Amino acid sequence: AVAAEEPITPPVQINHTQLLINGQYVDAAAGRTFPTFDPRNGDVIAHVAEGDAEDVDHAVAAARKAYDEGPWPKMTAYERSRIMFRTADLLEKHLDEIAALETWDSGKTYEQSANVEVPMLIRIFRYYGGWADKIHGLTVPADGLYHVQTLHEPIGVAGQIIPWNFPLLMFGWKVGPALACGNTVVLKTAEQTPLSALYVSNLLHEAGLPPGVLNVISGFGPTAGAALASHMDVDKLAFTGSTDTGKIVLGLAAKSNLKKVTLELGGKSPFIVCEDADVDMAVELAHSALFFNQGQCCCAGSRTFVHERIYDEFLEKARARASKRVVGDPFKKGVEQGPQIDSEQFKKILKYIRYGIESGATLESGGERFGSKGYYIQPTVFSNVQDDMVIAKDEIFGPVQSILKFKLVTNHPKHLDKKKKPLSLALIDALIDNRNLDEVIQRANSTRYGLVAGVFTQNIDTANALTRALRVGSVWINCYDVFDAAIPFGGFKMSGNGREKGIYGLNNYLQIKAVVTPLKNP
Ligand code: ADP
């Protein structure tokens, strides 16, 4: 770890701080602004227009008009696709500035912004730009003399509410498929990170996006966010954020016009290291599964389950790896971990660390703030974590790794009765039921969440058995955090509903119309 020094000056100008409504940057109707802060020291970066219900009304009216009267859904799909491709080119051209803005506003490392997140945003625009002119319905063989077809139509005006942990990626996951399918959008960014979406949206317009198709509101959840979720003219709501807020917006959608809702919420994801795993690889991936993005990931591997036979070795290596993690100014080369997003999260994480110590978990490394300025926290590792401890149940959303020990292995061939039929996929569920050995499955599933899981083993039967038994939306086997644009992502249980990315992500922004025509007139 390096000592905190004077913050490096970000290599970017801030050009856009107003709301984006109908293709124009405008002040909030009430004239209010709010500050956005630099997580490195808590200084104000900029004052940003604060959107409220009235601004949401204006934005929804613009999106409504662009949808109902065109041009957006009436343009050819090819034209829409070309605007998305041109956007991707412009994002590439301005990659450095965009990455700098993202790092400045969120505290994530510049290397991560520039090498991972902006490239993934670009990839999402190309991926969904590619889909725009390939979305079509089916011809359906129905009983009777009918010609039946389905039309895959856009839903209309999509309201989108995104969080602060991946401002640009969430922008891409939301806006990309919505536009590809021909919807218009009102997006509310998180109050902690309004800047990058305002910058990038300007590029969409430079690429030829007509006014009103994408509107961006900066502002707070209970005001601007709630106004969007309860708006009568919004046809669809896509939300990413905490499970508690997900419940609120789902309620607002239900109470207003029953707009269609997709939710991507929290997690407490198991990272399961079996006794036959490659320990060094598992240590490194468990480390990045938890500490990536300062631990501020809905899919963080926040319960590291390690088999008892390799537990001591794993623990020693995990502790050593965390102690070596380089914390510091996120603009500095080689830094792996920047500050947490804001003082609220900072305090909350330190509180969870105290809970961990008080509940009897063993603090292996870290445990305190890092430096004396800003919202930096030492990479923290707890061992001897028990399932019923608060740190094993709540989403901490910070750089705090919890290591838990488990005993039993699933479905290792040596457990199988050789005289029985060979192992097939269909048999695996039965095997799981028949054995009373699935301690780790039961513990991994005993959470209200169900977002992702990591499985580390050399044995394909163990991998198959765990994969089928885990109630989660993604299983990463001997890998973690693989976020290709084509791979669907989303949660089981209270981690949400709907899938983003990939072909499945289109479903969130399409509705199906069945059209029936008699084959011959009576
Ligand atoms: P966090 O607690 O990590 O900030 P939230 O789920 O509260 O996560 O925030 C995610 C997004 O939801 C942000 O854009 C935030 O402004 C918005 N939000 C928060 N509260 C509400 C609410 N009551 N109605 C609508 N949106 C909200």
pLDDT tens, residue by residue, 328-345: 999 999 999 999 999 999
pLDDT higher than 70, residue 45: yes
pLDDT of residue 437: 44
The DSSP annotation for 248-267 comes to HHHHHHHHTT--EEEEE---
pLDDT of residue 74: 86
Q: Could you give the residue numbers annotated as active site? A: 264
Could you tell me which of 199, 187, 2, 167 has the C-alpha nearest to residue 87?
199
Average pLDDT, the chain: 94
SS3 516: strand
Give, in degrees to the nearest 5, the angle at Cα 324 between 319 and 328.
130
Q: Find all residues with CB under 8 Å of 418, minimum gap 6, and list them.
A: none
* Pocket lined around ligand 1, Cβ cut-off 6 Å: 161-163, 188, 190-191, 220-222, 225-226, 229, 241-242, 245, 248-249
Q: Find all residues with CB under 8 Å of 417, minimum gap 6, and list them.
A: none
pLDDT tens, residue by residue, 245-263: 999 999 999 999 999 999 9
Average pLDDT for residues 458-483, to the nearest whole number?
94
pLDDT tens, residue by residue, 99-127: 999 999 999 999 999 999 999 999 999 99
pLDDT of residue 416: 47
Ligand 1 center from residue 312 Cα (angstroms)? 40
Mutate to test the pocket of ligand 1, among 48, 161, 340, 495 (most ligand atoms within 8 A of CB): 161
Query: Residue 96: exposed, middle, or buried by beta-carbon count in 10 A (0-12, 13-18, 19+)?
Result: middle
Longest dimension (CA), the chain: 84
Atom of ligand 1 nearest to the CA of 397: 3
Helix, strand and coil content of the chain, in percent to the nearest 5, comes to 40, 20, 40
Q: Which two tokens stand for residue 204?
A: 């969409």
CA atoms in the 13 A half-sphere facing the CB of 106 = 31
pLDDT of residue 428: 55
Handedness of CA 391, 395, 400, 406 (dihedral sign): positive
For the chain, give the number of residues.
Answer: 522
CB 321 within 8 A of CB 287: yes
The DSSP annotation for 404-430 comes to EEE---S--GGGS-TTSPPP-HHHHHH
Give, in degrees to the nearest 5, the angle at Cα 373 between 369 and 376.
40
Ligand 1 center from residue 192 Cα (angstroms)? 10
pTM tops 0.90 = yes
- Ligand 1 atom 17: the closest Cα is on which residue? 221
CB 180 within 8 A of CB 131: yes
Average pLDDT for residues 3-17, to the nearest whole number?
86
pLDDT tens, residue by residue, 278-317: 999 999 999 999 999 999 999 999 999 999 999 999 999 9
pLDDT higher than 50, residue 522: yes
Q: Rounded to the nearest 10 degrees, how much is the dihedral formed by the CA atoms of 325, 330, 333, 336?
A: 20
pLDDT of residue 427: 53
Query: Residue 267: exposed, middle, or buried by beta-carbon count in 10 A (0-12, 13-18, 19+)?
Result: buried
For helices 167-180 and 195-206, angle between their N-to-C axes, nearest 10 degrees: 30
pLDDT higher than 80, residue 515: yes
Ligand 1 center from residue 190 Cα (angstroms)? 7
Q: How confident is the model at residue 461 (pLDDT cuts 50, 70, 90)?
A: confident
pLDDT tens, residue by residue, 407-443: 866 554 444 454 554 555 545 555 554 343 478 999 9
pLDDT tens, residue by residue, 193-239: 999 999 999 999 999 999 999 999 999 999 999 999 999 999 999 99
pLDDT tens, residue by residue, 134-163: 999 999 999 999 999 999 999 999 999 999
pLDDT of residue 6: 83
Ligand 1 center from residue 173 Cα (angstroms)? 17
Average pLDDT for residues 395-404, to the nearest whole number?
98
| Separation between Cα atoms, residue 449 and residue 341, nearest integer Å | 23
